[in-house]
Structure 1
Amino acid sequence: MYSFAQRKDTKVFDEPLYAFYLKNSNAKAYHPGAQNILETMENDGQKVVDMMINSSESDVLFYKNMTHHLLDLNRSFMKNLTNVILTRNPIDMLPSFDKVIQNPTLDDVGYKLHTELIEGFRKNDIDFVVLDSKNVLLNPEGVLKQLCDHIGIPFDENMLKWEPSQRLEDGVWSKYWYDNVHKSSGFSEYKPKIVPFPKHLESLLNECLPHYKELRKLALI
């Protein structure tokens, strides 16, 4: 999202379906800042989708969403979008997630939902592309150029760097999740985790890995 926000032709939106997800799931009981999110964002998922589809605020509109936020929404609107799935090795991702939401489940972290979403995309001829965060960090310009080509927009070198700070578009939850992003000025060098993987997450890791391996096969390099 921060990368696309550097484009003059682009407006970004931070997780517009978050309140809809919280209102219609038990996640409101354990997501930090849930009540504030519910009070400050649109709770009606269909109204959010209508906004996404009908907005004309900029030539390029970038909606950062989480797969689990879709819940039971009709997915047909996704035919009108280029759907970018961003994944990350669960060995790296799960310990970080667990620091904010302890003992997450498979539905919380999205890997199974991503492969199910791709299955639906294929059945319904819906456009999608997969990014692996490791590939992006190893070759940010190369991967972003491929992504822009897929979308049908020119690559912009400004996508590679930004000023360390918050953005006006950040959701009210950013204080819980975005600390490293706010300190960043671009895509950091990839560094694998060197601390031991938490034992209490090993079962979840084993559930996630088959889905991640399928996503990895499709990722731009």
Structure 2
Amino acid sequence: MRIAMWSGPRNLSTALMYAFAARGDCAVWDEPFYACYLRATGLAHPMAVEIMAADPRSPAEIAHDLRRVAPEGARITYQKHMCQHMIDGIPRDWMSDVVNVFLIRHPDRVLASFGAKYADVTLQDIGFVQQAEIFESVFQKNNAIAGNPAGISLISESEFQQAKNAPLVIDSADIRADPDGMMRALCKALGLDYRPEMLNWPAGPKPYDGVWAPVWYEAVHRSTGFAGAEGPLPELPAPLRAISDAALPYYDRLARYKLAP
């Protein structure tokens, strides 16, 4: 099985990658298109030069590799994808060969964390619009529903409930509130056996981390499992509040379909 997990930054995505790696039968891939994204956009991300140097492959080469057989000893491949990386020029045909899952998080929490690491944040940087677009595209393709040429269409709840191949949606808040229950529910929805090992991993860097880990993974490297339930939403300064308000409808749209424990 090939799993493509779609999220934006600061979404619990690295911890979830660690959980799948801890199964023992799963090979993981950390943000395959990041270097391509930086080369195409010229964005001055931290460690951009190092990231691009570490992976000189073209988008087409990476798309080819995303279809490859899992390494020996692994029956599952887990691909951690950032929705904002899927810009024009990044192939999407490979997405028909994977199980697509969407990891969401309230934009207030995303921006409080991302804004502390990256200045001049924009709505495009946090991937909410792109995540909704990818979700709609996958849903339409899986269920032979015509897309909306003007942009993102609205899937009705009845369409979603009746669909035979609806993509999965999980909320990071639900995982943190009940890691065991949510990992069990996710594994069941994926048709995988649940393994309690998914709830714990060793502290420190991992050999499968992207080269950007020293910038972004400090907190998760201190962890040995999912953090506890989150408290009240954080207060945001006015510029980030405006971005969160713009992102919230996209979060709410996917939250309607999220998996329950």
> TM-score normalized by structure 1?
0.94
Shift of the 195–132 alpha-carbon distance from structure 1 to 2, 3 Å rule, reads closer
Shift of the 137–158 alpha-carbon distance from structure 1 to 2, 3 Å rule, reads same
Provide Cα deviations, 1:58-92, integer angstroms capped at 9, x if missing partner: 21001111011121233221111111111111111
Shift of the 77–127 alpha-carbon distance from structure 1 to 2, 3 Å rule, reads farther
Query: What is the rounded CA distance, in whole Å, between the counterparts of 1:194 and 1:22 in structure 2?
Result: 31
Query: What is the rounded CA distance, in whole Å, between the counterparts of 1:146 and 1:81 in structure 2?
Result: 19
Query: What is the rounded CA distance, in whole Å, between the counterparts of 1:122 and 1:218 in structure 2?
Result: 12
- Size of the aligned set, in residue pairs, is 219
Q: Could you tell me how far 1:195 is from its partner in structure 2?
A: 5.0
Query: What is the rounded CA distance, in whole Å, between the counterparts of 1:127 and 1:17 in structure 2?
Result: 25
Matched, 1:137 2:186: no
Query: What is the rounded CA distance, in whole Å, between the counterparts of 1:10 and 1:49 in structure 2?
Result: 19
* Matching residue within 154, 167, 171 for 2:206: 167
Shift of the 162–123 alpha-carbon distance from structure 1 to 2, 3 Å rule, reads same
- SS of the equivalent of 1:61 reads strand
Query: What is the rounded CA distance, in whole Å, between the counterparts of 1:40 and 1:164 in structure 2?
Result: 24
Identity %: 31
The 5 Å alignment of 1:1-221 reads 1-27=17-43, 30-57=44-71, 58-72=74-88, 73-125=90-142, 128-193=167-232, 196-221=235-260
Which piece of structure 1 moves more, 149-158 or 185-194? 185-194
Q: Structure 1: give runs of 5+ residues left out of the alignment.
A: none
RMSD of Structure 2 on Structure 1 (CA): 1.5
- SS of the equivalent of 2:66 reads helix
Contact 2:63 2:91 (C-alpha < 8 Å) held by counterparts: no
